[in-house]
Structure 1
Amino acid sequence: MKCPNCSSSNIGKLSANQFYCWNCFIELTLENGRLLLNQVEEDGTLTTLDDLFSESERQAKANGF
């Protein structure tokens, strides 16, 4: 499993469908075979990064991201 943003494999699991990249500090949510990417702000809120990635980049592959 690799981060679509930085290609790091340093991914932690937050819940069944949520992951966190410890390298670039983004949250990845798997929803309907598609990744939703969010940056965690200092106050704990999430800012979407989906508009920075194409639809094909956000498609989750069968082998995990």
Structure 2
Amino acid sequence: MRPGEVERHYPVVEVARLLGMSRDWVYDRIEDGTFTIANFGEGKSKRRIPASSINAYIESHTYSWPMT
């Protein structure tokens, strides 16, 4: 990121859509610490997941097939 640039943060429903998973799955990943969150207010609807957290998850679950 460039100086002064703000990282994009995604709502839970968008993360679920991007990854092809359910909202409950995303909330479970928040609870188990897989995804970090920023809380922009009260309640679950204000939770946002930074792009870097999503990218870290994808990177840690990416591999070549067949696995060696």
State if a TM-score over 0.5 links the two structures. no
Q: Give TM-score, length-normalised by structure 2.
A: 0.28
In our comparison, the structure showing a higher alpha carbon Rg is: 2
Larger % of strand: which?
1
- The higher relative CO (CA closer than 8 Å, separation ≥ 6) is in 2
Relative to its length, the structure with more helix (as a share) is 2
